[in-house]
Every structure is written in C-alpha cells, then in structure tokens.
Copies of this chain bind each other. A is one copy, B any other.
C-alpha cells in the first residue's frame, strides 16, 4: 500500500486533481490561484497551510508566523497580477498556547494584510496537536491582465523579480546558529511582489507566471510540465544581492545551491517575448524594484543550467513535503 511519504506533495496534488471534477472555474487546480469568471474580472482564490513541523522554525516569533501565512498567500495573488480583497484564517492551535502568543500571531497577520492594502475578515480557531494555520486569500484581476502558468513559448525569455538565495541564506544562518537578524528576517518575513505583479500584468505581455515559493528549479520543472517546453538558465545571471553574496562568501557555502533549489524566496518567475523586456524593466524600476533576465524557453524538453559556456542538466531538487 503506497503511502504519501512515497508519493510526495506534488503527486498528492495530482491525485486531487484527477479525482475532482472540473466546475465553473476558469482556472483550476495546478495554478497559483483558482479563478472564477465574475464578468469583466476574475475572482482569484488561493489557500496555503503552514504547520509547526514543516514551515515554522524555532526562531520564528509568533508575530512572524502571522506575517508569514499572510505574505505567502499574497504571493499567489501577486503571481496572477491580482489585487487582494480579503483573507480568512483557520488556526489550529495547541491547548497550552498562551493568550499572548496567540495575539501576536493575529497581530502579525493584521500588520501584513494592512501593509498590502487589505484586511483579514474572518477566521476559525480549533484545537490541534501542532500549530497549524491555513489562510485563504481572495482577490480580483481584470480578465485581460490575468497571468496564468500555462502560456510560455520557445524563444520567450525567463525573468525573475528581485533577488534569489535569500531564504537559503536564512536557513543556513538558523541551522548554523549564526546571529544575523537581517539575513534571517528575509526568510521569516517574506515580502511578496504584489505591486510588481500588478505592473507586470498591466502590460499584457507576460506569457506565463508563477511564484517561486518552492525554489527556482522546482518552479521551472512545474512550468516545463504544464507548457511542454524546456529551459536554459544562465547561472551567472541569477540575481543575488550583495548582502547575501557577502554572507555566503564569509560562511563559504554554495550560494547557487540556495538560489536554485531552496524554497521560500517568494519572488515571481515569468516568461515573456524578449522585445518587451527593456520597457518593462524601466516600469519596474519606477516602482523601486527590479527584474532580471536569467534564461530562455526552449523547444527541447529539458532544463539546462549554463556556466562558462558549459551546459549541465539542472536537477529538480526543490523541497517537497512528505518525501
């Protein structure tokens, strides 16, 4: 009898999508959000669950736990070019949790939602063995602006927002007990790319989009499967901040391993025709952010990483639950 530990999280989601029948939704399971036709807009819905065991390191404060569950839900709306309307939370919590700890979770959630222009409108609390929080966010996007996962074509370029390797550095610092508040904060207090997503979507030139929550390699493999294409990624083009670069040098760990394979960066991964890139780069600069071209979509259905003109297969090492 097969167990979920043999199958992994993504296979589990495949099982779900095989059993569930298609309904009125325009976009169903397998994208960052599901989408429903509401006239000239789409209603976007996304849900994310975090648990003590899998997502909440010991260093994480209750305020950060609250911030985190809201931020990662926003990231799914951002990846579709949407704007959040609101969110509901279900909190499973151990009996001996203090009132203060609980309040700080709610405060963190409130602060994050406020920062991104919406509020949490409801929730449920239940007793649980392990701290478990499920958030469901809903938002809207103009139909013509919606950025699906499916749509990229060979020849499109591959682009990411911001910098990668932040979450990996944070994990490293926590694991090695390195006191570096700023590095750890980048892991524990992700800043979803909401305004970037809205600008990207408004140009109507993005051929596919998803967030990189599971790591770059894993995200590329997911896009490969959906779009039946491959990718070439240029290793030295992967954007890494000076701060993270210095941190990795000082601690002599492989920054590219983090940037390629660690989940938790919550940047956006998009594809688009190259001819529009320069103008888009400018628009994103205007909102004090950045995008970087890191590769190309290929007809050959494999994913290569290129360093000093040498091509290697990019392994799919992204984190997966159960396994």
The distance from the CB of A100 to the nearest CB of chain B, in whole angstroms, is 6
Contact B130 A128 (CB under 8 A): yes
The quantity of this chain's copies bound in the complex is 2
Q: How far is the CA of A188 from the CA of B113 in the complex (A)?
A: 36
Query: Hey, which chain B residues are within 8 Å of A50, CB to CB?
Result: 126
The distance from the CB of A224 to the nearest CB of chain B, in whole angstroms, is 21
- Interface set of A (CB-CB < 8 Å, partner B): 1-7, 9, 12-13, 15-16, 19-25, 28-29, 33-34, 36, 38, 43, 45-51, 53-55, 85-86, 88-100, 102-103, 106-107, 109-110, 113-114, 118-130, 132, 134, 136, 138, 321-322
The distance from the CB of A35 to the nearest CB of chain B, in whole angstroms, is 9
Q: Taking CB as reference atom, which chain B residue is nearest A119?
A: B23
Q: How far is the CA of A9 from the CA of B97 in the complex (A)?
A: 12
Q: How far is the CA of A259 from the CA of B167 in the complex (A)?
A: 52
**Which of B20, B96, B132 contacts A110, CB < 8 Å?**
B20
Query: Hey, which chain B residues are within 8 Å of A55, CB to CB?
Result: 126
The distance from the CB of A2 to the nearest CB of chain B, in whole angstroms, is 4
User: Which of A6, A46, A98, A134 neighbours the largest number of chain B CB atoms within 10 Å of its CB?
Assistant: A134
Query: Hey, which chain B residues are within 8 Å of A24, CB to CB?
Result: 85-86, 118-119
Contact B86 A34 (CB under 8 A): yes
Q: Taking CB as reference atom, which chain B residue is nearest A6?
A: B99
Q: Taking CB as reference atom, which chain B residue is nearest A106?
A: B19
Q: How far is the CA of A203 from the CA of B13 in the complex (A)?
A: 42
The distance from the CB of A124 to the nearest CB of chain B, in whole angstroms, is 5
User: Which of A91, A124, A125 neighbours the largest number of chain B CB atoms within 10 Å of its CB?
Assistant: A124
Query: Hey, which chain B residues are within 8 Å of A321, CB to CB?
Result: 125-127
Q: Taking CB as reference atom, which chain B residue is nearest A50?
A: B126
Given A85-B36, A86-B25, A99-B7, are A47 and B136 also a contact pair (CB < 8 Å)? yes
Contact A123 B45 (CB under 8 A): no
Contact B106 A15 (CB under 8 A): yes
Query: Hey, which chain B residues are within 8 Å of A107, CB to CB?
Result: 19
Contact A12 B47 (CB under 8 A): no
Contact A3 B121 (CB under 8 A): no
Q: How far is the CA of A90 from the CA of B135 in the complex (A)?
A: 9
Contact B4 A102 (CB under 8 A): yes
